[in-house]
Structure 1
Amino acid sequence: MAHLALWSFLLLAGTQLALGRPQGSDSPPELILKPGCSESAMFRCVSPVISFVMSADGQRLMKIRKSGAIQQPDFEKACRLAGTTAGCMNTWIKKCVPEDAGHDLHILGQGTVDLLNVCNEPTSFDEFKKFASCAEKMNTTMKSCGEELRAKMPKTSGEFNHETPKRILSRQNLQRDFCCSIQKYNDCYRPNMQNVCGSDGVAVTTKLHNRILSSYKCTDDVLSFCANSIANAA
């Protein structure tokens, strides 16, 4: 269940790295922070996740997740880590980013916290196992859809360096583009899901997808824009 939810804020960062700025655009605006704030505090929020992923315990968890053998204690540990990281980043956004200058960041920060509340629901682990089983069966299709989506995205302007995260966080239409990426990815792998995963797999994946759209305020207007952009690109 939490295959996406667990690393949702990292997914957000990865998606925006793939999206970048439109080619030929001017330099991105500066990320405006309130006095006394710095980006370094935000990156400290992520360091526990990075440390865990690189640790022996983290590597063990990644291997058993892929095999579908993850147990509830490990699931709960990963949920706690993701929730703590998302909460830390959301607190930093609220404290340091003026809402009028970083409205999308506020939506995405709070949205990640809201999404990860799924971990606290009594059925979360059972649904995770169903989703993980389906994702494993759909692995080739999902990987292909991800590569296809990245290939269609405009490249990030400028070199990848220590300024890249600031460019990502400063870009316009951050929330809208994130919603479109989620929707396009879903539209790509969804047609094969019934045959591969059956009704249970479709139901739990649909529930998660709708939860993501709701958490990140991907409204009907936003999704309509996404649908039109897909049609125009076809």
Structure 2
Amino acid sequence: MAWIAACLLALTVAILASYMQGASAGAIEDFEDATSSPCEEINLITCFLPFVAFAVSDEAKDYTPARAKGVITQPQLTRLCDLGNDTAICFRDYTKRCIGSEHPEVHLTAQGTIDFLQFCTKPDAHSKVQKLFSCAQTMEAIHNRCAKSSSSMLPTDVDPSSPTAMVKRPNALRDLCCHVKKYEGCYLPEVQTHCGAEGVTANQDFLQRIYTSYQCSKHFPNCPA
């Protein structure tokens, strides 16, 4: 789900670690006090806790060999979709409650993530994602190279001390769209050779869903060189 989710997940782990250090009754009481206000930043962080818990669980270990083989089962996809949707709804609800209309792109990002995850409800979702998984495994070296070459589109001025500041960061959505577009330009021309016509279609459909969900077309003319 893009650099925004990745940054927030990493930040969640760091903040949780600080909460856990020297845990005591007083620390727990402080945590309870922090969550009493619906717009405390901890309530934004908790949106991502299910993903963090999943990432360190025994269940997540089953995904490692599947990824290595380029395979994902229907139950595994359903699990990931459910986690993603619950997180996205929590994030959307927090932004509606706590972030004003002067930050329209925050709200667009939140709703766009929910819209993007609607692909999970499609009857052919598993077959399409399986094609993406298989193709990604075949092109792993190319994806790694393209990830490095497109990293210039990622933000370097993110403030890790405040998750709210991170989501309000100017041009965050533009950077997301431009990063994906540059990544596409690097890897997509090679998909036909490595994955065939079906692989091209699956990747193009996936990219188009990202661009539509986040209204990326209006940002492409402003992508940094």
TM-score (norm. length: structure 2): 0.80
CA displacement at 1:153 relative to structure 2: 4.8
Q: Using the alignment, how far apart are the partners of 2:67 and 2:121 within structure 1?
A: 19
1:15 touches 1:178 (CA, 8 Å); kept in 2? no
Matched, 1:108 2:100: no
Q: Using the alignment, how far apart are the partners of 1:16 and 1:49 within structure 2?
A: 11
Aligned counterpart, 1:131: 132
1:2-13 aligned within 5 A: 8=1, 11-13=3-5
5+ residue gaps in structure 2? 10-36
Residues 178-212 of structure 1 show CA distances to partners (whole Å, capped at 9, x for unaligned) of 11111111111112111111110000100010000
1:179 touches 1:223 (CA, 8 Å); kept in 2? yes
Larger Rg: 2
1:168-207 aligned within 5 A: 168-207=166-205
Q: Using the alignment, how far apart are the partners of 1:131 and 1:122 within structure 2?
A: 16
Q: Using the alignment, how far apart are the partners of 2:93 and 2:153 within structure 1?
A: 33
Q: Using the alignment, how far apart are the partners of 2:64 and 2:213 within structure 1?
A: 26
CA displacement at 1:165 relative to structure 2: 3.0
1:16 touches 1:178 (CA, 8 Å); kept in 2? no
Aligned counterpart, 2:145: 144
Aligned counterpart, 1:222: 219
What letter corresponds to residue 99 of structure 1 in structure 2? S
CA displacement at 1:39 relative to structure 2: 1.3
1:40-79 aligned within 5 A: 40-79=42-81
**Secondary structure, in 3 states, of the residue corresponding to 1:47?**
helix
Greater relative contact order (Cα < 8 A, sep 6+): 1
2:3 touches 2:176 (CA, 8 Å); kept in 1? no
User: CA, structure 1 residues 137+108, in 2 after alignment: closer, same or farther (shift >3 Å)?
Assistant: same
Residues 129-175 of structure 1 show CA distances to partners (whole Å, capped at 9, x for unaligned) of 111111111111111111122256563366xx5x1534422321111
Q: Using the alignment, how far apart are the partners of 1:185 and 1:16 within structure 2?
A: 21
Q: Using the alignment, how far apart are the partners of 1:157 and 1:80 within structure 2?
A: 28
What letter corresponds to residue 225 of structure 1 in structure 2? N
Aligned counterpart, 2:30: none
How many residues align? The count is 198
2:153 touches 2:175 (CA, 8 Å); kept in 1? no
- State percent identity of aligned pairs: 29
**Secondary structure, in 3 states, of the residue corresponding to 1:122?**
coil
Q: Using the alignment, how far apart are the partners of 2:3 and 2:171 within structure 1?
A: 17
CA displacement at 1:36 relative to structure 2: 5.0
Aligned-residue RMSD, C-alpha: 2.2
User: CA, structure 1 residues 79+62, in 2 after alignment: closer, same or farther (shift >3 Å)?
Assistant: farther
2:143 touches 2:187 (CA, 8 Å); kept in 1? yes
Which of the numbers 79, 96, 100 marks the counterpart of 1:94? 96
Which of the numbers 83, 86, 103 marks the counterpart of 1:84? 86
Q: Using the alignment, how far apart are the partners of 1:90 and 1:114 within structure 2?
A: 11
CA displacement at 1:87 relative to structure 2: 1.0
Residues 17-72 of structure 1 show CA distances to partners (whole Å, capped at 9, x for unaligned) of 9xxxxxxxxxxxxxxxxx85111101101001000010010121233133223211
Which stretch has the larger CA shift, 202-211 or 172-181? 172-181
User: CA, structure 1 residues 172+16, in 2 after alignment: closer, same or farther (shift >3 Å)?
Assistant: farther
Matched, 1:122 2:123: yes
Which stretch has the larger CA shift, 40-49 or 143-152? 143-152
TM-score (norm. length: structure 1): 0.77
